[in-house]
């Protein structure tokens, strides 16, 4: 009798906690990102090198996406959204390394990422609107909508999990099946497609996280309306000319 396809055999244990292969790959990705960040920021210059220019371009692109989506200063959200995007991208692309399964092809990793977005949405919402103001958004447009708004908060986070897990896992399965049946060279186009899919899924996950946080921060706020000038503030009309003096 076979076990569940979602079951993972632990590689080793740290005390009572089992450590699986996706956890180890996740640690490696985190270590690579941390090391790269330290090395890249040690020698920043006003005249950037090619590597610094590329990284500045990445940061500017992330800022533009946040600014266009949230209509807010991206500095507050850059670290979270940027880290999510880069981590998911590298996790998806780790499938190109022989013998490595991407952590995002396992539901535990995707659940952790979705939970981070869920907590960040609440935290940023309370920070921007206050606890009472944030809780009041669940009663918009009417208190009757409170149950539905609460369910929506949970289900949209669950949709992040399912979307990322389903797309990445299916790509790994397809490439693995074709590789086992057709040999080494035939699946290369599928691997290229998997590369593109991984980038698209990372972008979608990051942009949806931005949308959810932006909704929590700005929901219910109306843009300021231009003030109507009071009658006494209007300029006086010029006196009419007397026709008899023409």
Q: What is the pTM of this model?
A: 0.78
Per-residue pLDDT, 8: 75
pLDDT tens digits, 14-40: 888 888 888 899 999 999 999 988 888
Helices then strands, each counted (H, E), the chain? 6, 2
Rounded to an integer, what distance in angstroms lies between the CA atom of residue 90 and that of residue 184?
23
CA distance 136 to 116: 22
Most confident range (mean pLDDT) of 63-72, 97-106, 162-171 is 63-72
Label residue 178 by pLDDT band (50, 70, 90).
Answer: low
Q: Residue 14 pairs with which residues in a beta bridge? A: 17
- Sequence spans of domains, the chain: 19-40+51-219
């Amino acid at each position: 009798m076979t076990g569940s396809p979602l079951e993972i055999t632990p590689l080793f244990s740290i005390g009572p906690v089992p450590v699986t292969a996706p956890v180890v790959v996740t640690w490696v990705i985190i270590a690579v990102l941390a090391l790269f960040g330290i090395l890249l920021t040690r020698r920043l210059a006003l005249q950037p090198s090619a590597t610094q220019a590329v990284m500045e371009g990445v940061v500017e692109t992330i800022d533009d996406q946040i600014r266009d989506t949230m209509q807010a200063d991206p500095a507050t959200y850059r670290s979270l959204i940027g880290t999510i995007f880069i981590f998911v991208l590298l996790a998806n692309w780790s499938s190109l390394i022989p013998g490595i399964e991407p952590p995002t092809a396992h539901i535990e990793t995707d659940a952790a990422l979705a939970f981070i977005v869920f907590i960040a949405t609440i935290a940023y919402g309370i920070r921007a609107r206050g606890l009472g103001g944030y809780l009041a958004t669940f009663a918009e447009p009417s208190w009757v909508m409170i149950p539905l708004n609460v369910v929506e908060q949970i289900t949209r986070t669950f949709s992040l999990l399912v979307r990322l897990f389903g797309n990445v896992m299916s790509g790994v399965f397809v490439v693995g099946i074709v590789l086992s049946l057709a040999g080494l060279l035939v699946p290369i186009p599928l691997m290229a497609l998997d590369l593109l899919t991984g980038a698209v899924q990372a972008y979608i996950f990051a942009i949806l996280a931005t949308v959810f946080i932006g909704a929590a921060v700005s929901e219910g706020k109306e843009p300021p309306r231009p003030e109507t000038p009071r009658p006494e503030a209007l300029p006086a009309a010029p006196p009419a000319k007397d026709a008899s003096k023409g």
